[in-house]
Amino acid sequence: MYSEFYGLTARPFQLTPDPRFYFDSATHKKAMAYLGYGLAQGEGFIVITGDIGTGKTTLVGHLMATVDRERLTAVKIVSTQIEGDDMLRMTAQAMGVSTEGVEKAQILDRIERFLMAQAEHGKRTLLIVDEAQNLPISALEELRMLSNFQAGGHALLQIFLLGQPEFRARLNGSDRLEQLRQRVIATHHLEPMQANEIEPYLIHRLTLAGWQGNPRFAPEAFARMYAHSEGVPRRLNALASRVMLFGAIEQRSLIDGEDVAAVIADMDGDVAPESVPVASAEPAAAIVTPEPQIVLAPAPVAATPSIRPEPVIDPALVARIEMLEGRVAEQEAAIRRVLGLLIDWVESDTATPDLHAVRGAA
């Protein structure tokens, strides 16, 4: 929407990495130097780490756009949490090597043949592994073994590992990765951009998208965008895209700090409820906070028993209760007599009990 309003020919702040919009910030320039050095060596591992959204993928995409593809075959895979054998198969498939129904030894043989064929055509092979922080040690060990392939004393495969900061920590802290560490020839950690790089970064991307100076940006707008994004390119792109959309909706030709603040509040859902009173501009009086005190609960006080009036008893009710109790006593006595007669009969030799005696007892 805002592209049409401002006459742009492309989306300058899309979140999908696009090497065309690569910006040579200080940290990316240093990373490119390490990558160039590593490519010149033609062997080992090059490790690039950075927080989410710092531009690792865009960096490598830019590098691949600058190399001579007649002399370099670049293969890229995005790793998941896969073990060594699956990593080997993914690598082979990325190279166009068939792995269906093939044992591991045959896969290794086919990969080596592929690398040898590339070398015979005067081409080196580069394997780029993105999201390397997800790889278990078994997968990293398989990659290390692939780096052993040589011909005429020269490595046939070079590997770039791109990952988040935890990958660098794991690589440096695990004893099981010592052999891999020894083969790392260059490493760099991408940092966020500095405050003075925000304006040239945004202008650079806008210009590539056909920007002709509309809208203009006030210095405070750049300052607020830096404060919110902390210099992380992906977060900055997301904010800048929303700011441009806001500008198009409000038909702004100048975007200032207040416009950016409104967009940030909308993105964060930072809208104050109407019921919350607005703070007074007058200075508040100093509030003295008393020292905490331990307050003991008072001991329970025994309740004073209340004097209740004597209940009034109905004489007729008392007489009926006494009559019922007498009947219960008579029935219990009769039952005891019957049980006694039955016990005497069981213990005697008489074939039948004296039913008259039993009836009389009952």
- Give the HSE-up count for residue 220: Cα atoms under 13 Å, Cβ half-sphere: 8
- Band (317; pLDDT cuts 50, 70, 90): low
Residue 357 lies inside a defined structural domain of this protein: yes
Residue 8 domain flag:
no
Per-residue CA distances from 237 to 13, 45, 346 (Å): 5, 31, 104
Q: Which range has the worst mean pLDDT, 14-23, 212-221, 258-267?
A: 14-23
Residue 185 has pLDDT above 80, yes or no: yes
Residue 226 to residues 55, 208, 221, 231, 256, Cα–Cα distance (Å):
16, 21, 9, 6, 14
What does the alpha-carbon distance between residue 200 and residue 76 come to, in Å, rounded to a whole number?
30
The enclosing domain of 73 has a CATH number of 3.40.50.300
Q: Check residues 122 and 335 and name the one with the higher pLDDT.
A: 122
CA dist 204 and 237 (Å) reads 12
Question: Which amino acid type is present at position 237?
Answer: N
Q: Which residue has the higher pLDDT, 304 or 28?
A: 28
What integer pLDDT is reported at residue 60 of this predicted model? 87
Q: Where a domain ends, among 150, 175, 190? A: 190
Please state the rounded mean pLDDT for residues 336-353. Answer: 56
Does residue 293 fall inside a structural domain?
Answer: no
Round to whole Å and give the CA distance between 245 and 12: 12
Position 292 in a domain: no
Question: Are 199 and 99 contained in the same domain?
Answer: no
Q: Are residues 222 and 252 in the same domain?
A: yes
Res. 55 pLDDT band, cuts 50 70 90: very high
* pLDDT of 42: 87
Q: Using one digit for the tens of pLDDT, what is the confidence trace for 298-308?
A: 434 444 444 44
pLDDT at residue 244, rounded to an integer: 96
Angle, helices 257-268 vs 233-249, to 10°: value is 110
In the chain, what percentage of residues exceed pLDDT 70? Answer: 75
SS3 138: helix
pLDDT at 314 over 80: no
- Residue 359 burial (C-beta neighbours within 10 Å; 0-12, 13-18, 19+): exposed
Please provide the distance, in angstroms rounded to a whole number, between the alpha carbons at the two ends of the chain: 105
Give the span between the Cα atoms of 116 and 122, in whole angstroms: 10
The CATH number for 252's domain is 1.10.8.60
Arithmetic mean of pLDDT over the chain = 82
Residue 302 belongs to some domain of the structure: no
Does one domain contain both 140 and 244? no
Model-wide pTM > 0.75: no
- The verdict on 128 and 157 lying in the same domain is yes
Q: Are residues 147 and 223 in the same domain?
A: no
In angstroms, the CA 26 to CA 191 distance is 9
Across the strands, what pairs with 75? 127
Per the CB < 8 A criterion, the answer to whether 159 and 43 are in contact is: no
When divided into structural domains, the chain yields a total of 3
The predicted pLDDT at position 282 comes to 39
Assess whether pLDDT exceeds 60 at residue 350: no
Same domain, 182 and 205: no
Which of 222, 240, 268 delimits the end of a domain?
268
* Residues 73, 47 share a domain: yes
| pLDDT value of position 304 | 43
Record the tokens describing residue 349, joined without a space. 């030799």
Dihedral of CA 106/111/116/118: which sign? positive
Under the banding of pLDDT at 50, 70 and 90, the label for residue 347 is low
Rounded to an integer, what is the distance from CA 318 to the centroid of its chain?
A: 79
Residue 184 lies in a domain: yes
Q: pLDDT confidence of 97, banded at 50, 70, 90?
A: very high
138 and 219: one domain?
A: no
Q: Do 238 and 263 fall within a single domain?
A: yes
Same domain, 145 and 110: yes
Last residue of a domain, one of 190, 212, 242: 190
289 domain-assigned:
no
User: Where are the alpha helices (H) located in the chain, listed in sequence order?
Assistant: 2-6, 26-41, 56-66, 84-94, 104-120, 137-146, 165-173, 178-181, 198-208, 219-229, 233-249, 257-268, 315-347, 355-361
Residue 283 pLDDT exceeds 50 = no
pLDDT of amino acid 160 = 94
Q: What is the DSSP string of 22-70?
A: ----HHHHHHHHHHHHHHHHTSSEEEEEE-TTSSHHHHHHHHHHHS-TT
Give the whole-angstrom CA distance, residue 77 versus residue 126: 11
Is 90 exceeded by the pLDDT of residue 16?
no
| Residue 232, number of CB atoms within 10 A of its CB | 20
The confidence score (pLDDT) of residue 31 equals 92
Domain of residue 353 covers: 326-361
Judgement on whether residues 212 and 144 belong to the same structural domain of the protein? no
- Supply the pLDDT for residue 80: 73
Q: Do 166 and 121 belong together in one domain?
A: yes
